[in-house]
Each structure stands twice: as C-alpha cells, then as structure tokens.
Amino acid sequence: MQMIALGGTIGVGLFMGSASTIKWTGPSVLLAYAFAGVILYIVMRALGEMIYVDPSTGSFAKFGAEYIHPVVGYLTAWSNVFQYLCVGISEVIAVGTYLQFWWPNMPQWIAGVIVVITLCAANLASVKAYGELEFWFALIKVLTIIFMIIMGLLVIIFGVGNHGQPVGISNLWTNGGFFTGGFKGFIFALSIVVGSYQGIEVIGITAGEAEDPQKNIVKAIRTIVGRILIFYIGAIFVIVSIYPWNKLGTMGSPFTETFAKVGITFAAEIINFVVLTAALSGCNSGIFSSSRMLYTLGMEHNLPKAFTKLSRHHVPYLPVITISAGILIGLLLNFSLPALFHTSNNVFVIVYSSSVLPGMVPWFVILFSELKFRKQNKQHMDEHPFKMPWYPFSNYFAIVSLIIILIFMFLNPETTVSLLVGVIFLLVMTIIYFIREKMTRA
C-alpha cells in the first residue's frame, strides 16, 4: 500500500520537471516542498481518521457524499476520473517518447497501445497483480532517488567527482539569494509543487481492498508522508546545492547532471529507464484509481449497474476496461489530430494541465468531510488511536492555504487557462448531476 502511494506521487514531474520549478523560485523551492508537505500531512491525517472508522473503496468520494452533499461525492469521483484519465494519456505518450531513446524508428503510438493493453490486463488479473506491478515500478524510482541523494552528498561533503574539493551548500544563497523569484514566484511555484503531491490519496481508494485495513492504512499514512518529503526535499536539496539554480534551465534532467557529476557517464541511460518506469507507474496508478471511482459511481447509481459487477478475481472489470479504452482513445487522438488541426497538440497540453484543480478536489473534500465526521462520530473519538492533530485549526489552515494557491494560479498567466478549464469541468458536471436528479424525481 505504501508503494502504491509512492508510485502515485513520485512521478515524471520530479525526475524531469524539477528544473522548471527551481527556475521559478530558486533554492526556496525547498521551502515550497516543505510547506506543501505540511498541507499533505494534514490531508492524510484527516483521511486516516475517517478511514479507521469506515474503510471503504473510493472512500473520499463516499465521505464527500455522506458528510457534505451527494453532489460533492459525485464531483469528487468524476474529478478523480478526469485527473487520472489526463495523466494516463500523457504518461503513455511519454512512454513512446522514452522508448525512442533506444528504438528511434519505433512509432510512438505502437508503444503506447502495447503499454495500455499490458497494464489493462494486469489490472484485470487481480488487485494483487496491480499491487505487485506498482511495487516494482515504485521501487525502481525510490532506489534511484536514494542513490542520487547519497552520491550528491558525497559531492557536497567530500568533493567526489569534483577533484576532491567539497562543493558545500553556498549555491543555496549565492546567485541572487534564496528567494530569487520573490514572494510571487514562491507562491506560483507552490501551485506546481502541490500538484506534484497529488495522488497520495490513492491510499484511501485501496482501503476497501486491503487486509486488516485499520492497521495497514494507519501504518501507511504514518510513514508515507515523511518518506515522500525525504525523497522530494532530499533530491531537490542535492540538486540546488551542487548546481547554481540559474544554470539548471539550460540542462536536461537535473538527475542526469547529478549522476554525470560523479562520473557515471551512462547517466542518460539510467534516467531514461527510471523515467520510463515512472511513466508506466503513473498510468498504472491512473487505471486503478479511476476505475475504482467508476465503480463507486456505479454503486451510487450514477452509472449503469454493469459498472458494479466484479470478476472472479474481485475486480470491477468494466471500469478497468472503460478507463483503459479512454486512455487508448486519447493516445490515438493525440497522434491523429495534429494531422488535421495544427493547434490540437496545444489543446492537449491545456487539457492535461487543467487536471490540477480537479486533482485538488479530493483534498478539499477530505478536509471539509472530517470537520463534520468528527461531530457525528463523537462515540468513536475517545479511544480513536489516529485522531487528526490540532483539530479543527489544522483543517482551516490547509483549506485557506489551498484557496490562496488557487487564487495565485488564476493570477499567473501560465496557469490561468488550465485553472479555468478545471472550473468549467466542475461546473458542467454539477449541472449534469442536478439535471439527472430533477429527471429522476420527475
């Protein structure tokens, strides 16, 4: 379960996208990851408190419907589906790009089709097969980060790969200071950093399918946030200490440069393999998570009853096939539309980035649901071993922080369109919900 959460959170964004985040705010990106980590911790503790009392598949959507309003559960489930469908499409496209490193003549769409079919088959086989696959994907990413942190510290402290001259950490405050982008740059970067943590709530979706859910989920949540922060902050600390932040924009992956610094000349091969597994992991997590949300929508009578049927391996097979087909259609459209419309690939980028707001919806729902959950379950609180700390102030702090981040996303010209697309998606799904409700009552 912990590897599933790691796999859903540590993705291509850390390996390839960290250079752009650092460029936005400089070394202070370390504080951005730490601050977002505090929000993440609060969200996961709120989720853990509720799951301990009521472990259910698709839990945060169920909590939204039960403790806020049925439309909230509906929007949470569809937001999760929308988010992971976009992520899944982009990750599969990325797989085709990465495979061209070794096989430059292979058409990208062929690699993508093979990947989607393989991951669909793994998810249909059993929950155990999915978990095994995700475990190995996540393990590769985790070991790479640990190895890079160790190698980086050897460069910083002992000067390994730098002619025995310790690099030190002066790059953290030279070259323009710690907060190179000012307060505005820091908040702008924070929106991307928060987005990179999205996916950890997949622990809640595995709840109903875990053995001894109370024990395992509490253990997973206790340890997972700390591990993610160590991996993210540790890796970024090494990168911004070894290299001046303003030179990272001219490089490829900062991970590649760090390996090259200690004399590992085949760094590009290593990173390409790791990023390939990161993309496979992201798509694998997407199929699992969003298919369980389609199952939840079926259980709530928001989709046909067929979506609630389980295979002999206890897998909701129609949701898995539907999501896999959606990713496959998106993949094929991505490669076919540019031949018809020259601007379609720009539209795809906008659609992908618009998943950031829907990706925040589960966090808001968890935080608001826990406020009401605590009031309605007072009888469980006296002996509850995993209560939310500093309730309710921690909830309000996280909620206000996320709202501020969204406001700055709107003010940032680079994220305004993507935020508006997310808003439009949520409005359309809300209208659909109430139209269906009105028709049902009629």
Q: What is the pLDDT of residues 18-59, one digit of tens each?
A: 666 777 788 888 888 889 889 988 998 888 888 888 776 557
What confidence score (pLDDT) does residue 343 get?
47
Q: Structurally, how many domains does the chain consist of?
A: 1
**Angstrom distance (rounded) from CA 18 to CA 239:** 9
Q: Please report, rounded to a whole number, the percentage of residues in the chain having pLDDT higher than 90.
A: 12
Question: Which 8-state DSSP code applies to residue 169?
Answer: S
Determine what percent of the chain is predicted with pLDDT higher than 70. Answer: 83
SS3 11: coil
Average confidence (pLDDT) over 319-337: 83
Cα(35)–Cα(218) distance, integer angstroms:
23
Task: Provide the CATH number for the domain around residue 116.
Answer: 1.20.1740.10
Q: What is the pLDDT of residues 113-150, one digit of tens each?
A: 888 998 898 888 877 777 777 778 778 878 888 887 88
Using CA atoms, how far residue 213 sits from 1, 44, 50, 80, 252, in Å, is 10, 15, 12, 22, 42
Determine contact, residues 143/212, Cβ cutoff 8 Å: no
Q: 342-349 — which CB contacts under 8 Å span 24+ positions? A: none
pLDDT at residue 168 above 90? Answer: no
3-state helix, strand, coil in the chain (%, to 5): 80, 0, 20
Q: Which two tokens stand for residue 255?
A: 């991970």
Structural domain boundaries, residue 244: 2-441
**How high is the pLDDT of residue 439?**
85
Whole-number Å distance between alpha carbons of 261 and 264: 7
